[in-house]
Structure 1
Amino acid sequence: MTSTLIVIGHGMVGHRLVDTLRALDRTRRWRVIVLGEEGEPAYDRVRLSAYLGCRSRARLSLASREFLTDPRIEVRPGVAAVHVDRRARTVRTADGDVIGYDALVLATGSRPFVPPVPGRDLGNCFVQRTLDDADALRAAVRPGRPAVVVGGGLLGLEAAQGVQLLGMRPHLVEAAPHLMPAQLDAEAAHVLRDGAARLGMGLHCGTTVASVDAGADGTVRSVTLGDGTVLDAELVVFAAGVRPRDDLSIDPALRLGDRGGFLTDALCRTADDRIWAVGECAALLGRCHGLVAPGYRMAESVARQLTGHPTEPPGDMDTSTELKLLGVHVATFGSTSGEAGTAAEMTFREGTSRYAKVFLRPDTGTLLGGILAGETGSRADLAALVGRPPTPDLERVLFPDPPLP
């Protein structure tokens, strides 16, 4: 007998769940209805900055022709869910349809956080979360003119790089003392800062935006910082982080985590045994994860549960990163937070162009993880060493070749 699974949200994590379920559901137990708020199927949201340059939505698409034509899968782009009735086990959509379910997965993702500063609603203020956001931003770009990006984390750096590739002169504002505070320490961030300086990007760390100021036409003309600095700006991008989208009307309401997100157990199950939550909207054991890799692990775990395959909890989440921003390679691998702050540390430097820090278990001396900045060794090679004592030639592994001139 066929059962109905509804997945609310067709982002990267929701798509991974349904695609994995397709492969595992050999008995064809499930009919799947995917409700996507955006007007097209899942795409690679991580590459939005690249989309600013390539202008091809098709190149970012994650949904293959085989996926979209699978008779077991019904994707409804542009159809948002507006209410879940847990007692009746139904979902009502924005177009008035009421759909019954046997199982429900919440994959609603997150929304951009915009600081509550005066002027944030002026013309030419943007977020960068969807393809439509990127199109609107690109249409407003004026090459050669100044712009301000609010947020110096991963989202902000990618937004600043995208704006610069389109010809504008960005300033980057970060409240923390240095860039990428969630991933890098101050010395690694200094290597990144040097890269920004080489590209002519203005950096303003340790301060906030006090106001976005209008010109005579009602659009942005400047940004005033908390330290009193006034930056000329004809465009502002808010990229100061995200918040879980947990505001879907659900009756009776599901419990939320202390910092938002639908609260789940270790297997991504909510208090309702027919409802799971995955990705950025899930507070897994009370904690939300803002990266796609943890979301994929949640999605695969739930797909296995729904198809009766042996399942392990997602467990410790992979929060490692690797990317090239502002002309600088930065990466993390393994654990970079130590064990309750007691990990031993070893640092390696080569001028101001290359930096590495590794964390070791104080009792066994085995490698826990590390931070890399500049032209360093392969993150994958170093990740393979986690859990073992560092090799005698660790410095050569970290800095295998001379730095680029």
Structure 2
Amino acid sequence: MAGKKVVVVGHGPIGHAFIEKLAEREAGFEITVVCEEPRPAYNRVMLTQYFLDCDGDKHDQMKLSYWSEEDLKSKNVKLVYGRATSIDRDNKSVAYSKVSHGGSSVDEDADSLKYDILVLCTGSFCFVPPTPGFVLPEKKNPQWPDDPASRPEGVFVYRTIEDLEALIAAAKNSKRAAVIGGGLLGLEAAKAVYDLEMESHVVEMAPYLMPTQLNEEAGKALERKISSLGIHVHSGAKIQEAVLDGGKVKGLKFIPHGETEPKILDVDMIVVSCGVRPRDELARGCGLELGGRGGIKVDSSLCSTDPSIYALGEVASIGGVFCYGLWAPGVDQAEALVKNLVDGAGSASYEKSDLSTKLKLLGVDVASFGSDESFWFKRKFDGKDPEVVNLECSSPLDGSYRRLCFTKDGKKLVGGVLVGDAKDYPKLLQICKKGDLGGADPESLAFRRPPPGQGAVANDGGDGTGIAEDDVICTCLNVTKGEVVKAIKDKDCLT
């Protein structure tokens, strides 16, 4: 494989994870990455930190940045600012339109790149529903679904730093904003609006927040925590239209839950953040097979129906069935592909990833964990599975809530959800991956007390964390507590 040209389309977090892992192997590949944003990859999960570090003069050296332009160059990675527009599979080339920004050089003679191996890491785009007033159909951009020109003035999406900069600029003349969507992405957008000190509304069509990851009681607990911050939550809403005046947003018309007549919420900004769709337009254009619900169909080696083209991250439809929307699965996929490219085909395979996650949303800890993906796909947490026994614990003092889900005989932890207090997440995650409860009993775990006859001493080496040495504390990179402790002691690392 040495000397072969590897072209990566998309320099988001997963594209960067692949580049970093491949460069580390020093296997002699010629690596080029096509980046349509005006800066190298950065951490989208922590996007609201941009408020604290938005100096445009250091666009590639932010706290959010992974590698700077100079870092990429030092690793012999060629960075091309451009938007890929088409793939010529016969000639193995990718055409792109040039994208430039202040201070960055662009190869004026280049408009296509030759590849031996093409890796598509194009990610996803914000789904904007065809609600009247949300989009301008006549201005739809097939090569850039998130093009702001395709939306009326005052309608935004929340995905990139450019999206956030647009919100910051508009907030100078805006007082009230409505965020459409009460899922993970919607609440992240709500955090941005809240930080901009606007009157903030979250409008969710489901009966409660985060319906994909949480049961109703947990969603309501989260709603109470968020409402206590002064954010207005409208769950169970039927959205009808964005009210425009002279092409600008002046309100949001919706029917509140339990009512029959619509009301108009007086807002001058609408942020649509109610889900994503895989950016598979390049694959569609060149005839690659797609997944049943979009995305590029790939096998366990992450290869598409073209043996020279691979896909990773949110655009990769595993077996043509499912696209993972989380960061950790994309990293797992990148690792598997690098092993196959460097060590030879069949060295690694990718089947699935753990969907367990812990987040801080508007300052509220939220966690969802399960023994396997069926916990979410079959919604074993919503109390309707006769083979699952649920134990709940809530505190009116701090507003926290937990639901733990056990097998019918109570011998195994299937999964759970935590809102407000997620300190036990690492421990519970490890227990649900094992075949038993590790000496505990369901009531002790659910109600946060030691088993009968035992003290509160945990097998944590005496450090008071309650976390054992082999417990995984970072599911994104599968890092154990012991590895973190060793890094701090032996390498003077900091947390």
- Worse overlay, 144-153 or 14-23: 144-153
- In structure 1, the residue corresponding to 2:179 is in which secondary structure? strand
Q: Which amino acid aligns with 1:85?
A: D
* Alignment partners' CA distance in 1, 2:354 and 2:127: 23
Cα gap change, 1:250/1:186 in structure 2, threshold over 3 Å: closer, same or farther?
closer
Query: Does structure 1 residue 337 correspond to structure 2 residue 337?
Result: no
Task: Determine if contact 1:109/1:280 at 8 Å carries over to the other structure.
Answer: yes
Task: Determine if contact 2:49/2:64 at 8 Å carries over to the other structure.
Answer: no
Q: Which residue of 2 aligns with 1:196?
A: 226
Task: Determine if contact 2:316/2:323 at 8 Å carries over to the other structure.
Answer: yes
Deviation of 1:338 (Å): 7.7
Q: Which residue of 2 aligns with 1:87?
A: 90
Give the one of 170, 179, 183 matched to 2:213: 183
- How much identity, in percent, do the aligned residues show? 36
Cα gap change, 1:225/1:33 in structure 2, threshold over 3 Å: closer, same or farther?
same
Q: Which residue of 1 aligns with 2:468?
A: none
Give the one of 113, 116, 120 matched to 1:102: 116
Cα gap change, 1:65/1:97 in structure 2, threshold over 3 Å: closer, same or farther?
closer
- In structure 1, the residue corresponding to 2:230 is in which secondary structure? coil
The count of corresponding residues between Structure 1 and Structure 2 is 397
Deviation of 1:123 (Å): 1.1
- In structure 2, the residue corresponding to 1:23 is in which secondary structure? helix
Q: Which residue of 1 aligns with 2:247?
A: 218
Cα gap change, 1:304/1:381 in structure 2, threshold over 3 Å: closer, same or farther?
same
Deviation of 1:364 (Å): 8.1
Q: Which residue of 2 aligns with 1:248?
A: 282
- Worse overlay, 124-133 or 327-336: 327-336
Give the one of 440, 465, 483 matched to 1:392: 440
Q: Which has the higher contact order (CA 8 A, sep 6+)?
A: 1
Cα gap change, 1:357/1:143 in structure 2, threshold over 3 Å: closer, same or farther?
farther
Cα gap change, 1:71/1:376 in structure 2, threshold over 3 Å: closer, same or farther?
closer
Task: Determine if contact 2:366/2:418 at 8 Å carries over to the other structure.
Answer: yes
Q: Which residue of 1 aligns with 2:454?
A: none
* Alignment partners' CA distance in 1, 2:215 and 2:53: 33
User: Where does structure 2 lack aligned partners over 5 or more consecutive residues?
Assistant: 99-109, 135-150, 257-261, 450-495
Let me know the Cα RMSD of the aligned residues: 2.3
Task: Determine if contact 1:19/1:67 at 8 Å carries over to the other structure.
Answer: no
Task: Determine if contact 1:344/1:362 at 8 Å carries over to the other structure.
Answer: yes
Give the one of 118, 134, 137 matched to 2:132: 118
Deviation of 1:97 (Å): 2.2
Deviation of 1:254 (Å): 0.1
* Alignment partners' CA distance in 1, 2:443 and 2:361: 24
Task: Determine if contact 2:23/2:75 at 8 Å carries over to the other structure.
Answer: no
Deviation of 1:329 (Å): 1.5
Deviation of 1:163 (Å): 0.6
Query: Does structure 1 residue 349 correspond to structure 2 residue 393?
Result: yes
Q: Which residue of 2 aligns with 1:138?
A: 168
Q: Which amino acid aligns with 2:416?
A: G
* Alignment partners' CA distance in 1, 2:166 and 2:351: 39
* Alignment partners' CA distance in 1, 2:249 and 2:52: 24
Cα-to-partner distance string for 1:237-287 (whole Å, 9 max, x where unaligned):
000111000001666410111111001112211111111100111111121
Cα gap change, 1:399/1:51 in structure 2, threshold over 3 Å: closer, same or farther?
farther
Cα-to-partner distance string for 1:351-387 (whole Å, 9 max, x where unaligned):
3422222233447832222111122432112111122
Q: Which residue of 1 aligns with 2:184?
A: 154
Cα-to-partner distance string for 1:194-225 (whole Å, 9 max, x where unaligned):
1122112111111232111123x532111001
Cα gap change, 1:326/1:61 in structure 2, threshold over 3 Å: closer, same or farther?
closer
Cα gap change, 1:71/1:166 in structure 2, threshold over 3 Å: closer, same or farther?
closer
* Alignment partners' CA distance in 2, 1:198 and 1:363: 39
Q: Which residue of 1 aligns with 2:237?
A: 207
* Alignment partners' CA distance in 1, 2:416 and 2:273: 26
- In structure 2, the residue corresponding to 1:248 is in which secondary structure? helix
Q: Which amino acid aligns with 1:43?
A: Y
Query: Does structure 1 residue 41 correspond to structure 2 residue 75?
Result: no
Q: Which residue of 2 aligns with 1:381?
A: 427
| Map 1:247-266 → 2, pairs under 5 A | 247-248=281-282, 252-266=286-300
| Map 1:318-337 → 2, pairs under 5 A | 318-335=354-371, 336-337=375-376
Deviation of 1:350 (Å): 2.6
- In structure 1, the residue corresponding to 2:328 is in which secondary structure? helix
Q: Which residue of 1 aligns with 2:314?
A: 280
Cα gap change, 1:64/1:400 in structure 2, threshold over 3 Å: closer, same or farther?
farther
Cα-to-partner distance string for 1:6-44 (whole Å, 9 max, x where unaligned):
00100000000010011123x42x111101111111011
Query: Normalized against structure 1, the TM-score is what?
Result: 0.91
- Worse overlay, 382-391 or 309-318: 309-318
* Alignment partners' CA distance in 2, 1:295 and 1:377: 26
- Worse overlay, 217-226 or 104-113: 217-226
* Alignment partners' CA distance in 1, 2:6 and 2:377: 40
Deviation of 1:67 (Å): 3.5
* Alignment partners' CA distance in 2, 1:393 and 1:360: 10
Cα gap change, 1:338/1:31 in structure 2, threshold over 3 Å: closer, same or farther?
closer
Task: Determine if contact 2:339/2:348 at 8 Å carries over to the other structure.
Answer: no
- In structure 1, the residue corresponding to 2:214 is in which secondary structure? coil
Deviation of 1:325 (Å): 2.0
- In structure 1, the residue corresponding to 2:45 is in which secondary structure? helix
Task: Determine if contact 1:119/1:213 at 8 Å carries over to the other structure.
Answer: yes
Deviation of 1:47 (Å): 1.4
